Amino acid sequence: MFVKNAMPIPNSDIADMLNQTADLLEIQDENPFRVRAYRNASRTVRNLSGNAAEMIAEGTDLTEYQGIGKDLAGKIGQIVETGAFDVLTSLRQQIPGELDKLMHISGLGAKRVARLYKELDITNLEQLKQAVDSGRIRDVEGFGKKTEDNIREEIGRLMGADQKRLKIAVVEDLAAPLVAYLKKGEGVKQVTVAGSFRRRKDTVGDLDILVTCKKHSNIMDHFTRYEDVQKIVSKGATRSTVLLRSNFQVDVRVMQDANYGAALMYFTGSKEHNIAVRKIGLQKKLKLNEYGLFRGEKRVAGRTESEVYARIGLPYIEPELRENRGEVEAAQANRLPKLVKLTDIKGDLHVHTNYTDGHNSIREMAEAAKALGYSYVAITDHSQHLTIAGGLQPDALRKQMEEIEAIDQSLRGITLLKGTEVDILENGTLDWPSDLLADLDVRVCSIHHQFTLSKEQQTTRILKAMDNPYFNILGHPTGRLIQDRQAYAVDMERIMKAAAERGCLLEVNAHSDRLDLNDIHCKMAAELGVTVVISTDSHRTSHLENMRLGVGQARRGWLEAGNVANTRTLGELRKLLKPR
């Protein structure tokens, strides 16, 4: 199970859940009184002066407040206790995608959103945009030119706001040349990217860069003259902000050596982590801010992060853990995980070639894997059902297996494994017969179609597939594409429990668009005793290096090398891949 967060759930989260319930009920054309009851309760909770969870714990009767009857008080109690409540949970299962967000677009509303879903299968902003762009929306009853124009304008605004965050791989490409450039500035000593980038979040809102330099450096002139700068938002001696041509924001702050560690800690965040650490400091009469750790007026630490943590009485906490998801408590109890590292990874178990939709040959992929120092790599092309990706027919797979064996014979230092990425069909069977599966070393089993099944159906489908004795690895287990496609509905806890029982592995897909399992799911995997595999799903040689992105998510999910199958030797790995 999830470790319960030490912080009580904020009122705003409870209020959001109640409001979302009202939205979803409205989309279902429910009784308006029931809808309004949820909206009223939401507003009341949002405006409470105390924290609802704490109030309940202290015995306050919430029904004393306007708009909260016995029934709703019970539901709020359920949210406070479990972080969820049954009405919303079941509504979310019944109503796909982001219909509740779409209904707030001006010109839409609940009824129209429901109609768009029924007639055009629209469940998210991207699909709505496509329907507007292609003119299909005009064909729906009640949608005229004016509505269409309204929606188009609103989509532009929403997507613009949404796209301010970028995928971490994209931000890496912006950050690397900028950091190299800053390091060339006169008198510059250290340059470090802090913020969510350093915590390896899957998307990043802006770059927070810290610099130390000798006195009288012209670092801010240097920074603002960077060729990719589109606009200087502000420029000062110690802090400047610019927008790059991609519209992405970069903050640069100049720090003193004496408080560099404290500043790095502050600007690495997360804010929630910082607050939790500061609280512990205060218990010891120590004040922590970006200028250092102070007892009274006296700075007692600040030069390095380790020094600051140590003076507060904590071991060093890795940036990826700093989300206030229990890491501070774990640090206090000396129970921090020893996080998996990129250098622990011994091979890649999800790689495509030009047999299907990859760009490189088997030999090219194998040699690139060898160059990374791996001791094994599995070739896993698509199965027959996935025709759009050139899925192999059985005889083509047989031919590929022979070629893999031949190339493996000719390569030293790395073992090529015969694999497949086999589709999980809608009824839960695998897209290859058992005799073919039996002759392979690695079977990655993935969902590539029917994303919109109900949670129950999708879960059953996967569980059924896992009953197949040849099922090794569940590929990209939620199917999400970051900022592009929602995860399909699935009961991850049930899947993980089943995987743990059967010895199935779950993939952390390191492809820059995917990164699923995500951080939360990785943590859940460790807690439920599921072993994961971190794989790149490479479609060309350069993709093999995306392994670091998957490792980043695994680290955010508290995973140690022992939780990750492809940190093991080939011999140990083969045991995990044996049919059951």
Residue closer to Zn ion, measured from CB, 19 or 446:
446
Query: Closest distance between Zn ion and the C-beta of residue 352, in Å?
Result: 9
* 206 part of the interface to ligand DGT, by CB under 6 A: yes
In the complex, minimum distance from the CB of residue 543 to ligand DGT, in angstroms, rounded to a whole number? 24
Report in angstroms how near the CB of residue 204 gets to ligand DGT at its nearest: 5
The smaller minimum CB distance to Ca ion, of residues 195 and 358, is found at 195
Smallest separation (angstroms) from Ca ion to the CB of 322: 13
Q: Quick one: which of 127, 196, 324, 478 contacts ligand DGT (CB under 6 A)? A: 196
Where in 258-277 is the site for ligand DGT (CB under 6 A)? 266-267, 269-271, 274-275
Give the rounded distance of the alpha carbon of 447 from its chain centre.
19
Angle (CA) 229-232-234 rounded to 5° is 145
Residue 100 contact among Ca ion, ligand DGT, Zn ion, none, beta carbon within 5 to 8 Å by kind: none
Selection from ligand DGT, Ca ion, Zn ion, none that 259 binds (CB < 5 to 8 A by kind) is: none
407 binds, among Ca ion, ligand DGT, Zn ion, none (CB under 5 to 8 A by kind): none
Site of tokens 């199965």: 383
Helix (H) or strand (E) segment spanning residue 213 = strand 207-213
The closest of 302, 333, 183, 191 to 252, measured between CA atoms, is 191
Q: Please, are residues 415 and 390 in contact by the beta-carbon 8 Å criterion?
A: no
The answer for 97, left when phi > 0, alpha when psi is -120 to 50, beta otherwise, is left
Interface size with ligand DGT, residues (CB under 6 A):
14
Q: What is the Cα–Cα distance from 494 to 474, expressed in whole angstroms?
A: 14
DSSP designation for 29: T
- For residues 417 to 456, the per-residue mask of contacts with Zn ion, x marking binding by CB under 5 A and - elsewhere, is -----------------------------x----------
Question: In 3-state terms, what secondary structure has residue 97?
Answer: coil
End-to-end CA distance of the chain: 26
Choice from 96, 97, 185, 195 touching ligand DGT (CB under 6 A)? 195
Q: List CB contacts of 293: < 8 A, sequence separation 6 or more.
A: 262, 281, 286, 287, 299, 300, 301, 302, 308, 311, 312
Got the DSSP string for 236-305?
-SSEEEEEETTS-EEEEEEE-GGGHHHHHHHHH--HHHHHHHHHHHHHTT-EEETTEEEETTEEEE-SSH
Query: Does the footprint of Zn ion cover residue 509 (CB under 5 A)?
Result: no
Helix (H, G, I), strand (E, B) or coil at 565: helix
Residue 469: CA atoms inside 13 Å, Cβ hemisphere, count? Answer: 7
Q: Which of 26, 202, 208, 381 binds ligand DGT (CB under 6 A)?
A: 208
Write the DSSP symbol of residue 445: E
Question: What are the beta bridge partners of residue 241?
Answer: 234, 251
| Residue 347, phi then psi, degrees to nearest 5 | 180, 170
Site pattern 127..166 for Zn ion (x: CB under 5 A): ----------------------------------------
> Which neighbouring-strand residues pair with 95?
none
Q: How far is the CB of 476 from Zn ion (least distance, A)?
A: 6
- Indicate the residue among 166 and 577 with the shorter CB distance to Ca ion: 166
The entry of ligand DGT, Zn ion, Ca ion, none near residue 446 (CB within 5 to 8 angstroms by kind) is: Zn ion
Closer to ligand DGT by CB, 242 or 533: give it. 242
User: Using CA atoms, how far apart are residues 379 and 420, in angstroms rounded to an integer?
Assistant: 7
Of 194 and 220, nearer to ligand DGT (C-beta) is 194
Which residue has the closest beta carbon to Ca ion?
Answer: 195
Nearer to Zn ion, 123 or 446 (CB): 446
- In angstroms, give the least distance from the CB of 158 to ligand DGT: 18
Binding span for ligand DGT by CB under 6 A among 86-94, 193-201, 327-335, 378-386: 193-201
Residues near Ca ion, by CB under 5 A: 195, 206, 208, 251
Nearest residue (CB) to ligand DGT, 312 versus 532: 312
Chain positions contacting ligand DGT, by CB under 6 A = 195-196, 201, 204-206, 208, 266-267, 269-271, 274-275
Chain positions contacting Zn ion, by CB under 5 A = 446
